[in-house]
Structures are given as C-alpha cells and as structure tokens.
C-alpha cells in the first residue's frame, strides 16, 4: 500500500478577477521509504503541492477538489487541530532557506525539545537526549555542547543539518523537502542531499524532494514527477525519465541539461514560456510550445497515459494514436 | 559588550554636555540677570560690582565650566520666583511625575500588547476592527482634549474620580508616593489614563504590525510545519520576535511620557515637574527651566542606555561572540 496517495488534487486561489487554478488534477503516490523527485519550472506548482500535503496552503489558497490520503486515511479534510498533530509527527517538512527557517531567538536545543515533546510522550530530559542524538546523527560535532547554541552560531550548511534534525525529530514517515539545497553553497549541496538520503533510509522515511536541479534528481530519486503549469506532465522511474522521456516537455527539459562531453556554442532551450495561470490554453497546457503539437492537443486535455515505462499526459501516447 | 557600554557612555556624556550648553545659553541670552536682580535704576558701579560678585565678568568658557561643575552636583542655583533652591523644588516634584509616567506606561503596555497581538492574530475579525478604529481616535485626539473629556465625563458628570491633585501621599525617605493609599490611586487614575491612551494606541499598532510581519517569516512557517501548537507558535516564537522593536519604542516613549507629561499635568493640576516647568516659563524662571532641561535629557539618556542593555537580554545574536560554525 502506498504511504501517500494524492488523487486529482485541485488548488485554487479566489481573487478579484476570478479564481486561479494553481494545481489542476494532480495525482501521484509515494511508497514507504521511496524518494519521489518533483521537478518543473518556477510556478509549475511544485511547492504548492508540498504545501497542500502538509496542510499549510497560504490563504486564500485552498484545496478545491481531489483527495490526499496518508496511510490509507484521508487527510485533506481534517480539522486544523488533527492536521497539526500529523504535521511533524507523520509528515516532516524542510524548506529552502536554512538561514531563515530557524527562530533567531531560540536555541536549537529548545526548538528540538519543543518539537519532540509536542508529539512524543517523553520527559524533558529524555527529549534532550534524543535531540543530542539527532544532532549527532546529522553530523554535528560536539552535539551535547552545541545544542544550547543559537542559529546564528551555525553556518548555512550546519543550519540545514539542524533543520533536517528538526524535521525528523518526531520520526515522521514522510519528509516533504522543498528545494532543501537551493540556498546552499554548491560544495555543501551534495553533503546535505546525501545526509537526507541516508537518514531517511535509516528511518524508513519516504521523501518528496522538490527541486529544479536535475543532477540532484538523478542521484537521489527513485521516481520523478515532472510538473508543468499546475499539472503533472510525466511521472515514472528516474532512469527512464532521464534516458527515454515520453512527454515532449520532459524531453525538452532533459535537452536543457548541458552535456559536458559535447562541444556546443548554444545551450538548448524550450521556446516560449510557461503560460500564466490566468491564460492556460485549452487542451494540453504545453501545446503552444510543443514541436509535435496536433489538433487533439488543442482541444482535449490528456490524462496520464501509459508511455512505455513511464506515464505521460500526452496524446502522442494515446492507444490507437492521434498522430497525423 | 564592555566596549559597547563604554562607547554608549561616551555618547551619553556628549549629549549631556550639549544639553547643558543649551541650558547655559538660556542664562546668557534670555535677559540680563543683573538688571533682573537690581532693577533699572542702578549706577554702573553697583552693576559692575554685582557682576563681579556673581562671576559674570569672567570669560564664557570659565562661566560654562562653573555651570557644568555645579550641574553635575545637581546644583542649579535658586529659583528666581520662589527663592528656593532649584534642586529642592525639583526633588519635591520629581516623584509625582515619575509615578504618573510609570503608571501610564504600565497601563499602555499591559493593555496595548495583548490588543495588538489579538488584532494581528484575528485580523479582519469584528473586534480587531473595533480596536483599530479606536486606536485611530487615540492617535489623533490631542492629549488635552482627552483629559478634558475624561474630566467632564468621569469627574463632573459621574463624579467617580477627582479631577485634580495627587490626593493623599505618603513620604518614604524623601520620596512622596501616592501609590500606597487608596486616595492616591483614585487621583492618579484619570491623568494616567489620559497620558496612557496615546501610548497605548501606538504600542497596539506597533505590536500588530510587527506581529503580522513576524507571522509571515519562514521560521514561523517551519514552526507550523513541525506541528507545534498555535499557542507555542504565536506566544512563543512570534511574540518574542515581536518584542524587540516594541522594547525600543516603549523605552523612548517612557522618556517622552516623563518629558511631555506637561500637558496632562496642567490639565489635572498634577503637582509634577511639568507643572513646575510651565510655571517657570510663565515667570521666565531660568534656573528652573535650565534644570528641567538637563534632567529630562538625563532621563532620556538613561532610558536609552537601559533599552540597549535590554537588547542583550532578548536577542542572543548580540549576547555571545560568534562561535565558528563550519
């Protein structure tokens, strides 16, 4: 059974000039212990999907359709207090910027102990021992001493380790990591990703890794979901997505990764830009930029269709085909 | 941290000397004290003799030095109007003003902070809109009008509170206090409320704005994502971060409360320094004015210094030296 199942998720933002549909019929699932990468351009809805799962959509954004199930239990319609108990305990979250994710006026120990004691029935002393162990696990030297230090006394990479420790503090089964390395030095990014991967593996926690770094995806993930304009364009095992992408958008995305073995003057790019939410074309959202567009793409929106080892929302893969 | 305090002390000294210079100028340029003392019909010899006796024939710098030396000992000479030592006059009035200002500041904080927090957390609710509307009135109504209105309603029409004076006071080691008697509290209520209303609305608006700002930060989002209770997020993480700027403003406002209690003291005939100052201005009682000026400056300097030190208590980023984190 899958750990997390998202079905036809719709997130809308009501505004003065009509309602914006920021996520449209997003469906995917994550198995226990699995790492699912979510890629896409800025504004494709990656972070929003994460926020919807942990129940922290910024108002006026709200879930307008679909369901989210965690361990077979529906969680998208839970009352706020029950959802709070799930956050941290069942689903941990890591955000982009470790420099701003920690309260500057709290020592890291206080934050860890607070988080542990919110969710687990342990004494303060026990919680502190757990906190020290967590910090050790995340590779912080002299953890017993540094636990009483404040965030400003740690470097960026160290702070992201603290953030990871905080996200794992109450032993959640799923971590939603929203661009956990984007704000870090390139030299530290690999360390943090490796750490996240190791800790989650040890604890059997699944990860939803939101990023736009294909390198990170290739090294880390089991499966990948490619998002475009609030929809999933393609989803499948990481190797297949990278080597034989089925959706023209995924193909374009992969072609954008510069190949160091080839001498090239120009970097590849996909012509045009992702449509704004107010102006998503009918049919397939990608059709104005697609090189293989045909009539059906402009009229009918494709579901995720089996396309070899992956599934792609593209009419090229409709059985019986529509290709001219 | 020691270096920081030393630097602040030097700055404070510079401020105090500047203020003393301005106060000293009052003597120099607001009328001639010799004419003042002897009147118009004197011979030049008499005038010259008094001038020499008072040390007024000495160079400016020497005279200023004498003034400074005396001021440092709290000595500002005699009140021209009452013939009493200025230091005695001020010592009599000081407790009344301080008590009024402290009660008003406490009132403003105790009511203003919770109102601000509420208005931020329940933004858009009916009650917080009521708060915001009231606060607009509080900010825009002049203090004397609030005072007169309060007197009209609570003293004249309802007769609940007295409209002037301090009531019964108890003297403890030279400090007269009205806070130990029921009468004293009865008397301080209206002037304290009058003085507090502006500060209260200011603090409330400040807390609300800061709180809204803090609630948008990443660390609040992350605290929520860890499943902490609303209570821990709002009153632990958010409120603590809100208080840093609030401390600054409250500190500065406390100085302002003491300095500008003048209007409230006049309206309520409160026997404090403000009333003393107004009377001194009416009679061109320069020694009293000079002393008042210096004292108020001293109070501001002391409060600012205390606020700076409070930062160290609240904000760990200032407290410790940076330990290497790499």
Strand-pairing partners, residue A19, are: A14
Q: In sequence order, what DSSP letters do the residues of B145-214 get, joined into one string?
A: HHHHHHIIIIIIIS--S-SSS--S-EEETTEEESTTSHHHHHHHHHHHHHHHHHHHHHHHHHHHHHHHHH
The domain limits of chain A are 4-221, 243-317
The token pair that represents A93 in the structure block? 């979250």
Strands in A4-15's sheet, in edge-to-edge order, are A18-30, A4-15, A62-70, A73-74
- pLDDT score of A121: 92
- Per-residue pLDDT tens over the stretch B69-123: 888 887 887 777 777 888 888 888 888 888 888 899 899 999 999 999 999 988 8
3-state class (DSSP) for residue A39: strand
How confident is the model over B17-40, as a mean pLDDT? Answer: 76
How confident is the model over B158-182, as a mean pLDDT? Answer: 77
Could you list the beta-strand ranges (E) of B202-296.
none
CB contacts, 8 Å: B322 with chain A: 152-153
**In angstroms, rounded to a whole number, what is the distance separating the alpha carbons of residues A301 and A84?**
36
Q: Is the pLDDT of residue A272 over 50?
A: yes
Longest dimension (CA), chain B: 89
Which residue, among B226, B237, B242, B313, would best test binding to A if mutated, counting the most A CBs under 10 Å from its CB? Answer: B226
Q: Is the pLDDT of residue A261 over 80?
A: no
- Per-residue pLDDT tens over the stretch A230-258: 899 999 999 988 888 888 888 888 887 77
Whether residue A118 lies within 8 A of chain B, CB to CB, comes out as: yes
**In angstroms, rounded to a whole number, what is the distance separating the alpha carbons of residues B302 and B324?**
35
Domain A4-221 falls under CATH 3.50.30.30 = no
The residue count of chain B comes to 326
Q: Is the pLDDT of residue B268 over 50?
A: yes
Domain B89-319 falls under CATH 1.20.210.10 = no
How confident is the model over B43-62, as a mean pLDDT? Answer: 78
Residue A42: which pLDDT band, with cuts at 50, 70 and 90?
Answer: confident
Phi, psi of A174 (to 5 degrees): -135, 135
Mean pLDDT of chain A: 87
**In angstroms, rounded to a whole number, what is the distance separating the alpha carbons of residues B281 and B286?**
8
- pLDDT score of B30: 67
Region of poorest pLDDT, from A66-80, A171-185, A309-323, B235-249: A309-323
Nearest to A156 by CA among A126, A191, A202, A125: A191
Whether residue A152 lies within 8 A of chain B, CB to CB, comes out as: yes
How confident is the model over A211-215, as a mean pLDDT? Answer: 84
- Per-residue pLDDT tens over the stretch B178-214: 777 777 788 888 888 888 888 889 899 999 999 999 9
Nearest beta carbon to residue A56 from set B224, B320, B322: B224
CB contacts, 8 Å: B217 with chain A: 100
Q: Which of residues 208-227 of B touch A (CB under 8 A)?
A: 217-219, 221-227
Question: What whole-number percentage of chain A has pLDDT above 70?
Answer: 96
Q: Is the pLDDT of residue B269 over 80?
A: yes
Residue B322: which pLDDT band, with cuts at 50, 70 and 90?
Answer: very low
How confident is the model over A70-95, as a mean pLDDT? Answer: 91
Whether residue A154 lies within 8 A of chain B, CB to CB, comes out as: yes
Residue B32: which pLDDT band, with cuts at 50, 70 and 90?
Answer: low
Please indicate whether residue B310 or residue A194 has the higher confidence score (pLDDT): A194
Q: Is the pLDDT of residue B319 over 70?
A: no
A60 upstream amide cis, omega within 30 of 0? yes
Task: Search chain A and give the residue with CA nearest B311.
Answer: A105
CB contact under 8 A, A104 and B224: no
Whether residue B241 lies within 8 A of chain A, CB to CB, comes out as: yes
CB contact under 8 A, A153 and B219: no
Q: Which of residues 29-58 of A touch B (CB under 8 A)?
A: 54, 56
- pLDDT score of A209: 93
- pLDDT score of A278: 81
The domain limits of chain B are 18-72, 89-319
3-state class (DSSP) for residue A104: coil
- pLDDT score of A264: 66
Interface contacts (A, B; CB < 8 Å): 96
- Per-residue pLDDT tens over the stretch A48-59: 999 999 999 988
- pLDDT score of A324: 40
- pLDDT score of A320: 47
Closest approach of B264 to chain A, Cα-based (Å): 39
Q: Is the pLDDT of residue B324 over 70?
A: no
Whether residue B48 lies within 8 A of chain A, CB to CB, comes out as: no
Please indicate whether residue A235 or residue B250 has the higher confidence score (pLDDT): A235
Please indicate whether residue B289 or residue B1 has the higher confidence score (pLDDT): B289
CB contact under 8 A, B325 and A154: yes
Helices (H), A33-104: 46-53, 80-86, 98-101
């Amino acid at each position: 059974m899958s750990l997390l199942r998202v079905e036809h998720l719709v997130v809308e933002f009501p505004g003065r000039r009509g309602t914006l549909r920021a996520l449209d019929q997003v469906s995917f699932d994550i198995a226990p212990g699995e790492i699912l990468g979510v890629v896409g351009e800025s504004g494709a809805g990656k972070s929003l999907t994460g926020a919807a799962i942990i129940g922290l959509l910024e108002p006026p954004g709200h879930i307008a359709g679909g369901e989210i199930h965690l361990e077979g239990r529906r969680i998208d319609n839970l009352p706020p207090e029950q959802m709070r108990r799930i956050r941290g305990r069942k689903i941990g979250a890591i955000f982009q910027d470790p420099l701003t994710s920690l309260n500057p006026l709290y020592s890291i120990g206080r934050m860890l102990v607070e988080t542990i004691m919110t969710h687990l029935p342990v004494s303060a002393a026990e919680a502190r021992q757990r906190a020290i162990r967590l910090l050790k696990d995340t590779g912080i030297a002299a953890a017993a001493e540094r636990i009483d230090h404040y965030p400003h006394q740690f470097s960026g990479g160290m702070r992201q380790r603290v953030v990871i420790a905080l996200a794992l503090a109450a032993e959640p089964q799923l971590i939603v990591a929203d661009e956990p390395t984007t704000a870090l030095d390139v030299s530290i990014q690999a360390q943090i990703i490796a750490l996240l991967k190791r800790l989650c593996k040890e604890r059997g926690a699944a990860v939803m890794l939101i990023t736009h770094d294909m390198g990170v995806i290739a090294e880390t993930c089991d499966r990948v979901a490619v998002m475009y304009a609030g929809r999933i364009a393609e989803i499948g095992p990481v190797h297949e997505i990278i080597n034989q992408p089925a959706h023209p958008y995924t193909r374009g995305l992969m072609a954008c990764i510069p190949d160091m073995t080839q001498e090239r003057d120009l970097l590849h790019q996909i012509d045009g830009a992702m449509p704004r939410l107010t102006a998503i074309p009918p049919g397939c959202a990608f059709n104005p930029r697609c090189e293989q567009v045909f009539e059906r793409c402009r009229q009918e929106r494709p579901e995720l269709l089996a396309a070899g080892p992956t599934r792609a929302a593209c009419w090229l893969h409709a059985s019986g085909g529509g290709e001219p | 941290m020691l270096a920081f305090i030393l630097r602040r002390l030097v700055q404070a000294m510079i401020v105090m000397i500047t203020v003393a210079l301005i106060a000293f100028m009052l003597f120099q340029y607001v009328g001639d004290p010799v004419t003042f003392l002897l009147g118009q019909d004197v011979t030049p010899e008499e005038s010259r003799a008094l001038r020499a006796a008072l040390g007024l024939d000495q160079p400016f710098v020497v005279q200023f030095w004498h003034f400074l030396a005396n001021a440092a000992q709290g000595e500002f000479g005699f009140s021209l109007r009452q013939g009493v030592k200025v230091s005695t006059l001020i010592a009599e009035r000081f407790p009344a003003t301080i008590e009024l200002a402290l009660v008003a500041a406490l009132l403003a904080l105790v009511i203003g902070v919770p109102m601000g927090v509420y208005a931020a957390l329940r933004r858009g609710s009916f009650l917080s809109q009521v708060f915001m509307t009231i606060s607009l009135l509080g900010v825009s109504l002049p203090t004397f009008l609030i005072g007169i209105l309060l007197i009209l309603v609570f003293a004249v029409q309802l007769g609940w509170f007295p409209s002037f004076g301090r009531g019964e006071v108890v003297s403890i080691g030279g400090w007269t206090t009205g806070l130990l008697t029921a009468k004293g509290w009865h008397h301080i209520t209206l002037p304290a409320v009058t003085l507090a209303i502006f500060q209260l609305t200011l603090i409330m608006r400040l807390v609300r704005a800061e709180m809204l700002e803090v609630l948008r930060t990443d660390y609040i989002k992350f605290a929520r994502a860890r499943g902490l209770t609303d209570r821990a997020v709002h009153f632990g993480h958010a409120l603590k971060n809100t208080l840093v700027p609030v401390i600054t403003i409250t500190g500065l406002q406390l100085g302002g409360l003491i300095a500008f209690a003048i209007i409230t003291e006049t309206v309520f005939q409160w026997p404090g320094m403000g009333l003393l100052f107004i009377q001194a201005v009416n009679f061109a009682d320069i020694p009293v004015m000079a002393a008042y000026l210096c004292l108020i400056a001293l109070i501001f300097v002391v409060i600012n210094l205390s606020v700076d030190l409070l930062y160290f208590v609240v904000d760990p980023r200032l407290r410790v030296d940076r330990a290497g984190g790499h």
